[in-house]
Amino acid sequence: MNAKSKCKPADLAILGGEALFAQKLPAGQVNIPEWERFEKISTGIFERKYYSNHGPLAQEFEERLIALFGTKHACTVTNATIGLALASKISGLKPGDRVIVPAFTFAATVQALTWAGLIPVFCDVDPLTHTMTAQTAAPLLNGPDSREIRAILGVHLWGNACDIESLDALAREHGLLLFFDAAHAVGCTHKGISFGNFGACEVFSFHAAHALNSTEGGCVATNDDELAERVRNIRSSYGRHATVPIPVNANGRFSEMQAAFGLLSLEDFPENCARNARRFHAYADGLKAVPGLRFLQASPGERHNHQYVILEVDEKDFGLCRDDLARILNAENVSARGHFMPGMHRCPPYRDRFPQYVHALPVTDRLCERVMQLPSGQIVTDEHIAGICALVRFVHEHAEELSKALQA
Ligand SMILES: Cc1ncc(COP(=O)(O)O)c(C=O)c1O
């Protein structure tokens, strides 16, 4: 790898030169524990011959999550998509109820509502934080779809809190349920309080590409005893107890193998987050002089997992649009990519069912064109980051020439 070898645009891989990196640098975390540790922790699974369904490792993992979040309950589930769907199903909402939700999010946030028979009311986001605020949500309560709105589902995108206090006040004023997709926010805090403690419940993801990973996995965290009991009941597929009624059963169980992986990932979590933070700052420092790039910063003073390195590319100031920059980086084996494009309001089936939102979310549309994720995680070294930053600076310096070359 030698970024200095890019002396002229023709040296770029997209124009026929040699790629900067021999192997692809992935965008996700890829925090894999050492085999010996995994072998040790999973031996007990084989000895006990108990693989699934809330075994001892899953119970231990839940206890550790409760300690991390400081919540009364942390109910592990197969993944966050299932967790969001189950939470939507058992929170007292009825099929046909409408839920305010940002369109700038992963498909699972909205699909979970659909799975539970709920109807999304798409909300725009704040241009600086990328999250829903009371200001972006409130007008919907007076809009044409306001009649059956019964809930707000906020998303703590990139691990940063959406406007929790104002959304809470809005929800109380209108008698709405408030709950959160906290898939990105494991281990993060808002005003010093861990996520997991806000709204009726918060749903986390332990997907392989996230800072805390159990290969696949998720959890519904809550301080509400009855809600937790409902989650435990619906996730078990046969109903755990008859103590609380649930509308249908599902299977959202968390296996012992997932728990084994998750427990190791929890051990490594502080170190992984600290390394993520160093990577983030290395990128931000390396590119601070480049016009047209804005990094999404963590809120000052908060604990953060820095699981994503997210920036916005302003075509006018940078000289190339996000997609062209991503194409150039991808050719160099740097997995840079856009996120959540198009917004959910423009994705089928929603764009056809709810055409009223297609042109109603200008900030979401703008972010879908500008947001980019850069590689972070275990295998990304300081040297890689220095190389990527040098490459991006080079691209900016030759933007005009490159723009013409890419169009040719
Ligand atoms: C905002 C958001 N919500 C939900 C999910 C779904 O998580 P999972 O893959 O654990 O189902 C993701 C996945 O990355 C996500 O980004």
pLDDT digits (tens, 9 = 90+) for 366-377: 999 999 999 998
Using alpha carbons, list the distances in angstroms from residue 55 to 59, 67, 165, 209, 397: 6, 19, 37, 25, 57
Phi-psi region of 301 (alpha: psi -120 to 50; beta: other; left: phi over 0): left
Q: Which architecture does CATH list for 35-264? A: 3-Layer(aba) Sandwich (3.40)
Between helix 56-69 and helix 35-48 the angle, nearest 10°, is: 130
pLDDT tens digits for range 375-405: 998 889 999 999 999 999 999 999 999 999 8
pLDDT tens digits for range 26-81: 988 788 899 999 999 999 999 999 888 789 999 999 999 999 999 999 999 999 99
Q: Which atom of ligand 1 is nearest to the CA of 181?
A: 3
Q: Long-range contacts of range 273-279, CB-CB < 8 Å, 24 or more positions apart? A: 273/187, 273/211, 273/304, 273/305, 273/306, 275/378, 276/29, 276/211, 276/305, 276/306, 276/307, 276/376, 276/377, 277/304, 277/306, 279/306, 279/309, 279/376, 279/380, 279/385
Task: Decide: helix, strand or coil at residue 181.
Answer: strand
Position 191, amino acid:
K
User: Please, which residues have CB within 8 angstroms of residue 90's CB and are 6 or more apart in sequence?
Assistant: 227, 230, 231, 233, 234, 246, 247
Distance 102 CA to ligand 1 centre (A): 14
pLDDT (0 to 100) of residue 4: 53
Q: Which atom of ligand 1 is nearest to the CA of 84?
A: 4
Cα 53 from Cα 76, distance rounded (Å): 10
User: Please, which residues have CB within 8 angstroms of residue 221's CB and are 6 or more apart in sequence?
Assistant: 65, 69, 71, 73, 74, 75, 182, 195, 196, 197, 201, 202, 203, 204
From the CB of 101, is ligand 1 less than 6 Å away?
no
Position 350, amino acid:
Y
From the CB of 79, is ligand 1 less than 6 Å away?
yes
Distance 281 CA to ligand 1 centre (A): 25
Q: Which atom of ligand 1 is nearest to the CA of 105?
A: 1
* Residue 305 CB neighbour total at 10 angstroms: 23
* Residue whose token pair is 């109903």: 239
Let me know if the fold of 3-30+268-407 is the same as that of 35-264.
no
From the CB of 108, is ligand 1 less than 6 Å away?
yes
pLDDT tens digits for range 142-160: 988 888 999 999 999 999 9
**Structure confidence at residue 239 as a pLDDT band (50, 70, 90):** low
* Residue 70 CB neighbour total at 10 angstroms: 14
User: Please, which residues have CB within 8 angstroms of residue 227's CB and are 6 or more apart in sequence?
Assistant: 73, 90, 91, 200, 201
**What does pTM read for this prediction?**
0.96
From the CB of 336, is ligand 1 less than 6 Å away?
no
What's the CA dihedral at 311, 316, 320, 324 to 10 degrees? 60
All structural domains of the chain with their residue ranges: 3-30+268-407, 35-264
Q: Which two tokens stand for residue 318?
A: 């940078």
Judged on CB neighbours under 10 Å (0-12, 13-18, 19+), 333 is: middle
Q: Quick check: 242 pLDDT over 90?
A: no
What's the CA dihedral at 175, 108, 293, 272 to 10 degrees? 100
pLDDT tens digits for range 296-354: 999 889 999 999 999 999 999 999 999 999 999 999 999 998 888 899 999 999 999 99
Cα 372 from Cα 268, distance rounded (Å): 27
CATH class of 3-30+268-407: alpha beta
Cα 163 from Cα 100, distance rounded (Å): 14
**Structure confidence at residue 245 as a pLDDT band (50, 70, 90):** confident
Distance 86 CA to ligand 1 centre (A): 14
Distance 385 CA to ligand 1 centre (A): 26
Distance 391 CA to ligand 1 centre (A): 30
Distance 41 CA to ligand 1 centre (A): 27
Q: Which two tokens stand for residue 161?
A: 């809190």
* Residue 193 CB neighbour total at 10 angstroms: 14
Q: Which atom of ligand 1 is nearest to the CA of 209?
A: 14
* Residue whose token pair is 């220095």: 386
